Amino acid sequence: MQRGSSKCELCGFEHTLSVYEIPPASDPSVEQSILVCETCHNQIEEPEKMDVNHWRCLNDSMWNPEPAVQVMAWRLLKRLDSEDWAQDLLDTLYLEPEVQQWAQAT
């Protein structure tokens, strides 16, 4: 909550927040979790319900210094990579090698 300033770390929404553990969560620590709102959470869990326009928020959140947020942003952009804008963001998103490895772990 403190790290995310009590906002969804993906879209900035301030309500219906919960903690999402990023799989594979070997240890359920704060470093491997992000704070997300219900809208983001539902779409992370159910890829077929992805609302493309909602994820324009990744334009900002992918620059979050927190590796867990970067990993989630990268994975979501991968899901959306049939969209030109998402592909463009993926092209500009640089991850440290160990973060990249984590992003590709599932």
Which two structure tokens, joined as six digits, stand for 52? 């493309």
**Cβ atoms of residues 33 and 22 within 8 Å:** yes
From the CB of 37, what's the least distance to Zn ion, in Å? 3
* Alpha carbons 38 and 85: distance in angstroms, whole number: 24
From the CB of 58, what's the least distance to Zn ion, in Å? 10
List of residues 6+ apart from 62 with CB closer than 8 A: 69, 70, 73, 74, 77, 89, 93
Decide whether 13 or 85 has the Cβ nearer to Zn ion.
13
From the CB of 39, what's the least distance to Zn ion, in Å? 5
Decide whether 18 or 29 has the Cβ nearer to Zn ion.
18
In the complex, the residues that contact Zn ion under the rule CB under 5 A are 8, 10-11, 13, 37, 40
Decide whether 60 or 91 has the Cβ nearer to Zn ion.
60
